[in-house]
Chains A and B, each alone.
Chain A
């Protein structure tokens, strides 16, 4: 088993929560893992990306080679497109549909979404909306993770364990909200498939 995942977003959007959850799940499964992150300057509202690699064999490079990523998970639609050169031919593009507009020259949102839809394997999900309906806006990233989960080769139970462990200190209520967020994202994705 081997999955190379690009996780994308804007500095401050907390993309690392997605990486951390998948990472925790990979540890549960005793897989090898390498996860490169962005710290520093770009965290001030610039584009940020994390390379997450999990495998049952030894992993060498911390960076995924161009054209070899199995999946892009993005918490922002325009950012999902920035990493298309990384994605493999049959890879999945899974992105939040809600734009994060911290620049004056942000393109027309429709044009961005059209580009996403051109991609044959894509999931475009209103994660913010779903999280808001759930009463937990902070869980949008977990909704997106849920949408990606059918294509991750990680059993749902293992992701559930990972989320439970990660939010352990925040109490049962927070755990339940995030498990629900995971489930809603997953359902959305499966319905499309």
Chain B
């Protein structure tokens, strides 16, 4: 069969479909979004009846996947790195319950923060949970690891993690498929108490997880995803994790690779392999895209052994994505560079689309807030965060999803009243509702703007769980109905919208203002579809 050209994300999606996936659960987040999008729009997945669900947030997605695993079917949950912070409770505890049907947690990290608030390395979460972690170096390997991951998840009854980074997620290459597997039948755990984490049971489960560490390591030795390649020149020994392997090999295409090499694709890393490299080489170089996990492990805090080079000793930068040049310089090879960027080139930061509803919302808010001291707008994460930059410069914070409302609440408690929160519709149902409840319970003087553009805009327009439900949610949580105001953010409504905002600012208590107008990108897409179907 001809190979298919797939993004790393798509390779994982197709791998899962072919390996007998019954359900994928996810909340969008760059660079993980395309995994679930692929399954949502896959004809094969539809024919096979695979459930492909966008969930309210990563925690609900994680728990739904644990539920499907409980019921004996193969399931995958996908998120970006910071999504795992949200899902962490379910994730860590799932290592104690263990799996029944194969359970794969796919986490996409974003070194260099192309589209994120930080560059945390999810492998540390995997290690924390003490489960097997896979780090593919290519799209094909990503595809294969999904098949293998489901197999060992069921064999050892443990959730497994597949960790990728932006570069692999969003890079295309040829992928060959393996034989398709049937989905599992509904089959509850043999021990119906396996998933009851009462202390007495959890202690037993945890012992089993601890005992299995050796088994996981043995597996990583024989699975074929960790490769030891002999080398004649033992002055250096090289360790390359995941995609770092490619950057390394890029530098040795002509003359072949001279040093002993350990290419890591599966954790826990077999001690035997590490020891062999350490014993036979004079110095060790560690390349990993992310935090120095293996490097730190090898070095230990006392650093008493042979020289270990990597991100910790400055051989590589401590932050940022790796690339072939960084690896070359680290190994003392010649660096290459073209011509400098001419001075005339101006930077071009991302910006709100022209005609975006958020712009009109902020123009009204900015003008009203001229009457107050600066620095009181707590924002959240979405397209509307771009208003931090010129020309709008309308917001003062962006921390994590949902933090707009809760930070405004805390600041109002500190005396910053009124405090303004700005949150998107999808972010509101992701993590904003509980914060609003706090405001209601404590009658906080917080004005919450829920920017309802009917979609999850920043990640490309996935459906929003808030669709058609915002007023009901707010009044259900206890916001007074007369302080739930809907406005239409359009230039022609500017005066009217400012009047409504001023009315709510005059009220000493929690208000919700809902500027409502569809994202013009999804509107455009919808219109084109409609036109096409006519």
Interface of A toward B, CB cutoff 8 Å: 10-12, 23, 27, 32-47, 51, 57, 59-63, 65-69, 78-79, 81-82, 84-89, 91, 102-108, 111-112, 115
Contact = CB atoms under 8 A, between A and B. Distances in A.
A44 B349 CA distance: 9
Given A44-B353, A78-B345, A115-B344, A33 B324 contact: no
Interface in B31-46: 31, 33-34
Contact of A44 (B114, B173, B341, B350): B350
Interface of B: 2, 5, 7, 30-31, 33-34, 114-115, 167-168, 170-174, 243, 245-250, 253, 323-325, 328, 335-342, 344-354, 383, 386, 391, 458-460
B505 to A, nearest CB: 30
A81 B345 contact: yes
30 contacts: A23-B172, A27-B174, A32-B173, A32-B174, A33-B5, A35-B171, A37-B171, A38-B170, A39-B34, A39-B115, A39-B460, A42-B115, A46-B348, A46-B349, A47-B347, A60-B246, A60-B248, A60-B253, A62-B168, A84-B339, A84-B340, A84-B342, A85-B337, A87-B338, A102-B348, A102-B351, A103-B349, A105-B346, A108-B344, A115-B344
Given A44-B350, A44-B458, A79-B348, 8 more contacts: A32-B174, A37-B171, A39-B460, A44-B383, A45-B350, A63-B167, A66-B325, A103-B349
Contacts of A104: 391
B342 A61 contact: no
A65 B341 CA distance: 16
Contacts of B391: 104
A23 B5 contact: yes
A86 B5 CA distance: 25
Contacts of A42: 114-115, 350
Nearest to A63: B323
A64 B353 CA distance: 30
Interface residue SS majority, chain B: loop
A82 B345 contact: yes
Contacts, number: 160
Contacts of B341: 81-82, 84-85
B172 A33 contact: yes
B114 A40 contact: yes
Nearest to A87: B338
A108 B345 CA distance: 10
Nearest to B167: A62
B173 A34 contact: yes
Nearest to A10: B348
A57 to B, nearest CB: 8
Nearest to A84: B339
A44 B351 contact: yes
Contact of A65 (B5, B167, B325): B325
